[in-house]
A and B are shown apart, each in its own frame.
Chain A
């Protein structure tokens, strides 16, 4: 439990007796960065292998159907890799923010001062929202590539005839998904800048912590 009344003009903080724990995005970040990285490290070589198989089919006069289907599966796998690696980057940033939140609180607690923990800045909220949009855009494109590829492999003449058109549109979706992911990462890093500024200010207040120390029973722990 923490007091949420606004007590400072410069930063919006939560006040508590002891260090706060990780929030939900930070817990997710700590749990998911490694599985996402592992998925990315599997997807990129798989995409390169599919690309090589398709190149061989083109060079040896393979069937149009196989070449077109692989032309959908290859970007599907590669961009699954990009979705995973950008998610891993985002989770690693959330993990760093969690370290600042918990570690900063522990230092204040050790100093005997009341613990002021920065509430999630707006850039942090934008980071999460844009990351979600980017992930959905990329995964949507990956799923559609897989569906079109499977339809071509399943002898759909419609899918084969319209594959070039869908490839343009899905390429556009993939590109904007990547741009949004990069934007989200910029916002996540900007949040770290805000946290660093706050911590540089807060630690200088700690020696006067006795003056701001809560009266007994005033603050929830």
Chain B
């Protein structure tokens, strides 16, 4: 973990806070690539629609439908990965901002130069309950998990989405020669690609958790170095709901993957009825993870508001 922090999440001391972020540019470039790939899939879908009412085109339409689904879901995966890269840029920038505040705050601190006594306990703030301590708070379990899991989740997700794309191309090639295998591959493609999408969004969620860790730890370091009491917002309800929604959403994606695999042993008529509800379920799973991401962003906004309020208080009162 220490090496990951040093290499990726936390820049080395003395790093230049003025330079533009390469990760940000890489992330935006990757997002553009993803959207271009999605446009290719869009053209294929439009053509499939135009051919769908023409006699003798059924096999062509099935082929287009097969690979365009795989390609489009892979495009989503690429853009989600790009969001992860931009979040990494945010993490590094947050640490550079912590360094700037830590170096500057002693000169800005107002009020008496006498250090005020620190009384550990709990206080109410407009942003929720906060703890008062003399030292930087230790990371919570979710923070440790987030820092350990963001990279494996993104990697597994991207591999699953890319693997699904390969399977979708094989599926397209078997539509005419082996329809049974093509049908089985269709179930595999949907199951594995949406499992991958779930892992990618979980990776994004873990990066947001890492941002919350850096805000908590960085905020504590800044206050301690300024010689004032360390005020830390308690784990908010929105953060608890974020974790719950992400876990449930990921479990739904694992569930749909297992059921999709099971349908490969079903009769075609039975499999068709399963597909009818598996589609909305796999999308609901992603929707739950995305809802968790909304709450993570809201939590980040609240923590930032609390920290600005605390810095303003230190500048005005010196304590």
Contact = CB atoms under 8 A, between A and B. Distances in A.
A82 to B, nearest CB: 7
Contacts of A186: 27-28, 31, 79, 82-83, 86
A20 B222 CA distance: 25
B45 to A, nearest CB: 3
Interface stretch (A142-150, A173-181, A213-221): A173-181
B93 A168 contact: no
A110 B79 contact: no
B55 to A, nearest CB: 13
B118 interface: no
Interface in B288-312: 288, 290-291, 293-295, 297-298, 300-301, 304-305, 307-309, 311-312
Given A37-B294, A169-B45, A186-B27, A47 B308 contact: no
Contacts, number: 230
A116 interface: no
Nearest to A199: B97
A203 B100 contact: yes
A129 interface: no
Contacts of A59: 269-270, 273
B277 A176 contact: no
Interface in B1-32: 17-18, 20-21, 24, 27-28, 31-32
Given A10-B18, A96-B304, A175-B38, A45 B45 contact: no
B184 to A, nearest CB: 19
A82 B316 CA distance: 44
Interface string B252-292: 00000000000000000110111011111101100110110
A40 interface: yes
B283 A189 contact: no
A78 B301 contact: no
A182 B77 CA distance: 10
Given A55-B274, A183-B35, A201-B17, A169 B53 contact: no
Nearest to A102: B308
A94 B272 CA distance: 42
Between B80, B100, B276, the greatest number of chain A beta carbons within 10 A of the residue's beta carbon is seen for: B276
B31 A182 contact: yes
Interface stretch (B101-109, B151-159, B167-175, B186-194): B101-109
Given A200-B93, A207-B108, A171 B272 contact: no
A172 B65 CA distance: 11
A10 B20 CA distance: 11
Given A89-B293, A186-B83, A99 B305 contact: yes
Interface in A76-95: 78, 81-82, 85-86, 88-89, 92-93, 95
Interface size class of B (residues with CB under 8 A): 35 or more
B276 A179 contact: no
Nearest to B27: A186
A103 interface: yes
- Give chain B's interface secondary structure class: helix
A176 B279 contact: no
Given A85-B290, A201-B18, A103 B304 contact: yes
Nearest to B48: A168
B232 interface: no
Interface string B31-53: 11011001101100110111011
- Give chain A's interface secondary structure class: helix
A106 B140 CA distance: 30
A185 B81 CA distance: 12
A175 B309 contact: no
Interface string A100-134: 10111011001100000000000100000000000
B94 interface: yes
A78 B97 CA distance: 40
B20 to A, nearest CB: 7
A162 interface: yes
A170 B65 CA distance: 13
Nearest to A61: B269
Nearest 9 A-B pairs (CB), nearest first?
A103-B308, A168-B49, A51-B280, A172-B45, A92-B297, A196-B93, A179-B38, A55-B276, A59-B273
Interface of B: 17-18, 20-21, 24, 27-28, 31-32, 34-35, 38-39, 41-42, 45-46, 48-50, 52-53, 65, 72, 75-76, 79-80, 82-83, 86-87, 89-90, 93-94, 96-97, 99-101, 103-104, 107-108, 110, 269-270, 272-274, 276-281, 283-284, 287-288, 290-291, 293-295, 297-298, 300-301, 304-305, 307-309, 311-312, 315-316
24 contacts: A37-B295, A51-B280, A54-B276, A58-B276, A59-B273, A81-B284, A82-B283, A82-B290, A86-B290, A99-B301, A99-B308, A103-B308, A103-B309, A103-B312, A107-B311, A187-B31, A193-B90, A197-B21, A197-B96, A199-B97, A200-B17, A200-B93, A204-B17, A207-B104
